[in-house]
Amino acid sequence: MAEQTASASADIPAHGPARSAQGPNSAPAPAPEPKSDSAVVRDALGVGIAVGLSGFAFGVTSAGAGLTVLQTCALSLLVFTGASQFALVGALAAGGNPLTAAAGAFFLGVRNAFYGLRLSQLLRLPGPVRPFAAQWVIDETTAVALAQPTRRSARIGFSVTGLTLYGLWNLTTLGGALGAEALGDTDAWGLDAAGPAVFLALLAPMLRTVTERAVAGLAVVLGLGFLPVLPAGVPVLVAALAAPAVLWLEGRRLGARRKGTDR
């Protein structure tokens, strides 16, 4: 997916050309430091391999929820967004309605559409390639691509991460599903906790600001609070309200601070 032919656009900074905001006589902003292709590939492989191995946990969890090996592998091949997959099989395992479970998984996956809007401007892939690249628009590929200083390195990072993660995730999903059948009752091994544990391990390093931690904390409270009273899968949808609630409160706080400053 990453083009090897050099072009003028390949060296454009991933976040747009730097502009000086201080007038025509001010010194231009420094250009981003170049990054070798090998360094980009190394970083992308590290992310792809580390996250791809968690497909084993999904395979085990899915088989433990009652899905067949074929159904489990089809989810990884066609859906390929870990959080949504875990949410779907988790709701089914808890006895939830399939439509409710699918709705929860859908809303978790909607974020990838917003990633796609940003990546389409950054990568500027050829039209025929975009439908295939869309399958790889997930948290990890987006993070690696946005971290690169130039469009060329962003394309390489996106492509290597996507290819590595997609291939390894599907292989480990198959291995996990087959292994779960050999193990028998996965509940007896405590493997039903593997999915949530992996998801928390991926989420925790991303919570850097107070607002992000507040959203995560409120989502936990809402999800656990409504778990005993709502059908399986619905608490996930309720927990999604944490983000707009915290952002609304943050907006009111900033608005009150501005008014106090104006006075």
d(C-alpha 86, C-alpha 21), whole Å: 46
Mean pLDDT to the nearest integer, 123-150: 90
pLDDT value at residue 166:
96
pLDDT 10s digits, 164-218: 999 999 999 999 998 876 666 655 665 555 556 655 665 676 688 888 889 989 9
Mean pLDDT of the chain: 79
pLDDT value at residue 198:
55
Q: Is 150 helix (H, G, I), strand (E, B) or coil?
A: strand
Yes or no: say if 37 and 156 are a contact pair by the CB < 8 Å rule.
Answer: yes
pLDDT 10s digits, 12-46: 444 444 444 444 444 554 555 677 889 999 989 98
Residue closest to 227 by CA, chosen among 102, 62, 96 = 96
Residue closest to 250 by CA, chosen among 216, 215, 204 = 215
Task: Give how far Cα 246 sits from Cα of 81, 106, 215, Å.
Answer: 25, 22, 6
pLDDT value at residue 11:
43
Mean pLDDT to the nearest integer, 218-229: 87
Task: Give how far Cα 177 sits from Cα of 51, 71, 114, 167, Å.
Answer: 17, 10, 31, 16
d(C-alpha 159, C-alpha 243), whole Å: 30
Token duo for residue 28: 């231009």
Token duo for residue 252: 């009111």
Phi, psi of 13 (to 5 degrees): -55, 140
Residue carrying the six token digits 């991460």: 161
Query: Does the pLDDT value for residue 128 go beyond 80?
Result: yes
Task: Provide the strand spans (E) within 63-209.
Answer: none
Query: Does the pLDDT value for residue 9 go beyond 60?
Result: no
pLDDT value at residue 263:
67
